[in-house]
Structure 1
Amino acid sequence: MTTQVTTPDESADTPGPAAPLSPAAPGRARRVIRTALPVVLVIAAVGGAAAYTSSTVDSADHSVRTVLWQEPERKPGKDPAGDVARGRASTELSKLLLPVPIGYRLGPDIGEMGNDGEQSGSKAAAAVKESARGLAGKERRDYEKRIDELRIEGTAVRSYVPDGNDLLVETQIMRMKDKKAVRNLYNVRSGLFETIGIFRQGPKIQGHTRNAKCFLLRKDSEGGEDPIVSMECMAYDGELSISVSASGTVPFDRAAVAELLKDQLNHITSPGEYV
């Protein structure tokens, strides 16, 4: 199935330098981050590997070809429960995750949840609260209160990589009881990405321009050429908060990542058509 995905710039991923921030912009960004610190931490916990990828690349040996995921020498044995190569679908939440697309396979683990895992509401909430290790006292209590207010019911994650090992995609779906909280979280997350100045707009998601956005990390301000590009996408659908994080080598196929997010959102609406 071929679908046209529009992007702000259809050329190769080589945009010019970012426009300098106005003198007031840094102060405004700092104020937004301070007042929304708990939500910033939620962003890190709910989805987003851009900062981790960037710091990892900074210390990497750039003289050798980058491989995001090395295929194991031995293929896993046949699962006695059946073919799970496209991901498990044994629970209501795992069924909502997009099955591993053709040409991809399950990727590396996403923390304790593995590459195709799920957590209950209490465990999922505890995992998000754990991201507040750097806070203490009142700030931590306020943060944990906000997490409790989200009323998280569960989280499911899945990672996959293409046969060429040049892209890593991590998808996470979090279900909350309060649809308004889901929408507010999306608005705050996307607003922060637009405000802090280190991200630029990514491709638009056809058919989902009102409930999905993607962002790309801006290039090194000093003109450095990182071998890895990171793209962060966020979306919501009713009581579901969806995050897609992708890291890939240059040239980075951002349209392909946008297509995966579109398929993920369509799969939630019509699962049978995207299995």
Structure 2
Amino acid sequence: MNDDTVTATPAAPAAEPESMPAPEQPAATGPGTPDPADPATPGSRRLLRAGAATAAAALVGVAIGIGIIKTQYDDPAPATAAAPSTAPTPTASATPYGAKSNGSHFGSLRDLLLPVPAGYRPGPDDGVYGNDTELNGEQLSAELDAELQQIPKDKRDKLRSYWEGLHVKATGVRTYLSTGDDLVIGLKLRQFNQQEVQRINEYTAVFTGDTGLFRIGPSIPGHPEAHCYLMPAPPSAPIDYLECSAAEGDLLVIMNAEGVAPLPKDKIVALFTLQLDRLARPGASA
């Protein structure tokens, strides 16, 4: 999922759902829509950003997606995705990483993220996060504080309170561009309270399945906790957009895929399956 999107009512602060921002309806067209005559690669354009905005609530709750808050109260012109600023570099040392039997994960999120597989190369920067990044809880909290200054104080206090209850540890981001330049995939790992990870993931399934706003996406074999859905789009749209979400212990795993329509769903499912298998706790069967 993309993080410069809009939030809707989260499942967590159930006692006060009316106080949270409501989702915007996805726009069919806009200034960021590419000319159908120009088969632009997804790495250079973001056609369905507005559709992804509606899904943000289900993917990241209220405050865990930092960039979503700014978009709710500010409507900047759509930006063109730039090429990666630098090539991804491996972590400094071979630090152990993996999952414990209780579902908590250890090690760098950059190590837990799927390495760039055959058929792909490092993708474009994901906004301000780059294309291979890990931010710790302190960095995310500081960025949240800056963004919260742009919203009304009553909502600001509620969002801050909810954020603190999540016990956010870190976020990892990595992007992948297919060798044919026709598919961009972004993976995000968000590490926070296990119970909230599960609740937000369950809310995603309900939100995307019951509202009628989304098209049903493919299933992920061996991972019943995962669910995928496609953004609203007319049949003639040259670019399509798919998102998937899954709960793996204390990690909310989010994948967004954007490419020339029709999307190669088998390739997308295969990559997401590899990522979830990499995060599986000991003894888990795929």
TM over 0.5: yes
d(CA) in 1 for partners of 2:264, 2:138: 37
SS of 2:169's partner is: strand
**Aligned residue in 2 for 1:59:** 33
Within 5 A, what are the aligned runs for 1:1-275? 35=17, 38=20, 59-69=33-43, 88-90=90-92, 92-127=108-143, 135-176=151-192, 178-209=193-224, 211-220=225-234, 225-269=236-280
Structure 1 gaps, min length 5: 1-28, 45-50, 71-75
d(CA) in 2 for partners of 1:140, 1:173: 25
Deviations 1:184-225 (A, max 9, x none): 11112222222332212211100001x2111111333xxx51
Q: Match of 1:59, as an amino acid?
A: T
Q: Compute the RMSD of aligned alpha carbons.
A: 3.5
Go from structure 1 to structure 2 and tell me whether the alpha carbon gap of 1:213 and 1:128 turns closer, same or farther (over 3 Å shift): farther
d(CA) in 1 for partners of 2:29, 2:131: 22
Shift of 1:132: 5.3
Go from structure 1 to structure 2 and tell me whether the alpha carbon gap of 1:168 and 1:128 turns closer, same or farther (over 3 Å shift): farther
Go from structure 1 to structure 2 and tell me whether the alpha carbon gap of 1:67 and 1:125 turns closer, same or farther (over 3 Å shift): same
Q: Is the 8 A contact 1:40 1:189 kept in 2?
A: no
**Aligned residue in 2 for 1:9:** none
d(CA) in 1 for partners of 2:189, 2:145: 17
d(CA) in 2 for partners of 1:212, 1:39: 26
SS of 2:272's partner is: helix
d(CA) in 2 for partners of 1:121, 1:55: 36
d(CA) in 1 for partners of 2:242, 2:147: 21
When normalised by structure 2's length, the TM-score is 0.66
Between structure 1 and structure 2, the one with the greater Rg is 1
Q: Is the 8 A contact 1:57 1:228 kept in 2?
A: no
d(CA) in 1 for partners of 2:36, 2:208: 28
Go from structure 1 to structure 2 and tell me whether the alpha carbon gap of 1:39 and 1:102 turns closer, same or farther (over 3 Å shift): farther
d(CA) in 1 for partners of 2:207, 2:145: 20
Identity over aligned pairs, percent? 27
Deviations 1:29-61 (A, max 9, x none): 9999992775978xx9xxxxxx69x76686321
SS of 1:152's partner is: coil
Shift of 1:130: 5.7
Shift of 1:118: 0.7
Q: Is the 8 A contact 1:57 1:226 kept in 2?
A: no
d(CA) in 1 for partners of 2:150, 2:213: 22
Go from structure 1 to structure 2 and tell me whether the alpha carbon gap of 1:121 and 1:250 turns closer, same or farther (over 3 Å shift): same
Q: Is the 8 A contact 2:133 2:172 kept in 1?
A: yes
Q: Is the 8 A contact 1:169 1:244 kept in 2?
A: yes
**Aligned residue in 2 for 1:6:** none
When normalised by structure 1's length, the TM-score is 0.68
Shift of 1:236: 1.1
Deviations 1:210-247 (A, max 9, x none): x2111111333xxx511111001101111111100010
Paired residue total: 218
